[in-house]
Amino acid sequence: MKISASPKVIAFRLSLSLCAVSLIFVAAMVYSYFNEKHQKIREAKNGAREEAVRAAKEIDAELQKLSKTAVAIADDLTSGKLPENQIQERLRLEMDQNPSISGLGAAYKPYAYPKDAQPGQKVPLYAPYYTRKGGKIEYQPVEKYYAYTQPQYEWYHKPIKEGASWIEPFFSNINPNLIAPFGTPFYRNDPATQKPVVAGVVTANYSLEELRNLIKSLTIGKTGYGFLLSHKGNFIYHPIERLVESKTNILERAKNVLKDELLLETSQKALAGESVVMDDRSAVTGQSTWLFFEPIPSTGWALGVVFIKDEIFTNTDSLRHKLIWIALGSISTLFFLSIIVFRAYEGRFWSLWFVSITTSGLLGGGVGLIWYLSFIERPDKTTEHTVIVSQPGLQSFLESRNKIDKQLKKTPATYIPTGIFIQSIEFQGANNVFITGYLWQKYTKGIHDDISRGFIFPESVTGTDFEPVEAYRYETDTQEVIGWYFETAIRQNFDYNRYPFDAKDVWLRIWHQDFYKNVILVPDVDSYKLMNPTSIPGVEKDFVLPGWHLESSFFHYRINSYNTYFGFPQAADAYQEVPELYFTIIAKRNFLTVFISNVMPSMVLACLLFVIQMIISEKHRVNEAMSFTAMEIVSTSGAFIFIVILDQINLRNSIAAGGIIYLEFFYFILYIIILWVTVNALILASGTKIALLDYQDNFIPKLLYWPFFLKVLLIVTLIAFY
């Protein structure tokens, strides 16, 4: 005979099964979350490392070609295969055949150049040398410029003492550019001893322009960059040119300037020939980075590649959604677990109340988690636009834009450093913001002579009465700096859907007034002490913006395209893919103010409705002290609805936003709850028998009050924030 399971057993088994299913779902989502996060990190890290390794191998291969060319010439001179009087022809031929060589020459020891090569002449010093200038090959005998045998000229003495070797890059007296020479000695038999002795040095200089182009071609994110170090640690290439021009040493810079022991240790390992990876976070820019070092074996140099880790998670929607699903799965798991732990399947009152309280807490926690995820969002880290917080990052971005301009056949861009200092912001209505401050630009003489002075805020809605006023101007031998004071109202589409958890991105879109000349404004990074967005660069220290908290400020670029030529005769692509400079301030609303003025009254009203719900029962109809009439119920509900309506109207008038905002859902839920309590009370007052309400004297509506309220709130929160 088959015995059916009791309802309690069925409820227990069902709760246990659903708890297990929910737990498996949570585990799967947790695994998916961390797997996706780690995969993005792994792919970005491996990609940056592969770029560094590839570039290091290419550089090493190119430098080996140059060294082989110099060695071949030296060997031919030593063996006699290359006659002394044909050395200039050979040097010129090799220069023609090897565009990567910027200079090639042979420097003889004093009186080592044979007299029969130039009959009747004594040759104390002879150093034929060819260099590449402006795409042309020029002959420049070194001995006419300086006595290269003096002790300070390492390019001559080191190969004689140590044999074939790379010389520390230096700025030449002949060529003002930085050169990277390779020297190798050539020999002649001593007539007295018949042993080979050094007769001179063949020197080949690699074109550092080729190295720069190779490093600039690295694919390392939007603002990642590469640099090159000599075997002594001096910068051979860096996006910040002054580090190269001043012969800055990374070891000294790490120790004395940056005071970064980790960078010092990592750099020492790199210069010792190791492949090294360093995790770092800049206090100046606030960026988390990876620094990859790869050795250049043939020279002892090291290639450094910096990847900005913050760029990995510019689109975090997928990860945020998975966190929300983990939270929902956890709520489900703990809900079914509470049924088991408190034995709610047995139907005891205290068990059901514990489950109701637990469920309400879980649902409230889910709402709070979604609020928290909204609070911690950093627009400067998650934006898909290019945020500029450092000079190397700026140079990397501009190099990538140069490539696109060449593809679009645009005229070469002109760059004008531009800075801004905001003194005040005032929100005027739902979509206007009034901004005052200073803006300055730096014009270089000889480069910006044909560029007019001035700028445009293309989104300004103020008239001619608010034209910028020149506040200061000063000049140096090479530069002209002009600063303007401005007051402008900008019309922007602020999003109030998440009110009061919203943030306002207040931006200034800046054009140069000669924008049709392909003028690109660049942030004047050097004019700010800190560019870390959270340090609020470019904003008045004692900034007053009641009801708001300034979270960050930063420069960034947006790539825009236009469907007009603005009346100028330009090529078809002249107004496509245009990088425009923006200065953005992120202001987050002060939630505490809104909570006290709007959220707290709603929560108090919800609590009062719960109290009314608790005192509504069939038994109270026979108790005069606790009795109620239909008219009293309707009057109380009407008063509550009137309060909610006035509060909602006041809210909409205060923010003047179109559409439904998040906080209004609180009022809609209260309307439903008021209706729920009213109908429940009227049914009981009328004596109508409904099983759901009659069970244990209106127990079920009381039990479900807070879970229902918070579940609906969680659902609307998901709709608004997901």
Please name the residues in contact with 410: beta carbons below 8 A apart, sequence gap of 6 or more: 518, 571, 573, 574
Place of tokens 């002075």: 453
In terms of residues, how long is the chain?
Answer: 722
Tell me, what's the pLDDT at 222? 80
Q: What's the rounded Cα separation, in Å, for the pair 383 and 44? A: 18
Q: Does an H or E element contain 270, and which?
A: helix 261-271
Tell me, what's the pLDDT at 385? 83
What percentage of the chain has pLDDT greater than the value 70? Answer: 93
Tell me, what's the pLDDT at 4? 54
Residue 12, classed as helix, strand or coil, is helix
Beta strands in 309-431 (DSSP E): 386-388, 414-428
Half-sphere exposure of 668 (CA within 13 A, CB side): 11
Q: What's the rounded Cα separation, in Å, for the pair 437 and 419? A: 11
Tell me, what's the pLDDT at 625? 44
Residue 426, classed as helix, strand or coil, is strand
Tell me, what's the pLDDT at 89? 92
Task: Find, among 667, 676, 691, the residue nearest to 616 by Cα.
Answer: 676
Please name the residues in contact with 104: beta carbons below 8 A apart, sequence gap of 6 or more: 69, 70, 91, 94, 95, 129, 130, 203, 204, 205
Task: Find, among 639, 640, 563, the residue nearest to 605 by Cα.
Answer: 640
Indicate the burial class of 462 (C-beta count within 10 angstroms; 0-12, 13-18, 19 or more): middle
CA end-to-end distance (rounded Å), the chain: 53
Return the structure tokens found at 56: 């290091």
Residue stretches of the chain with pLDDT short of 70 = 1-5, 115-122, 173-176, 283-284, 380, 463-465, 569-575, 617-631, 656
Tell me, what's the pLDDT at 620? 47
Task: Find, among 204, 210, 164, the residue nearest to 59 by Cα.
Answer: 210
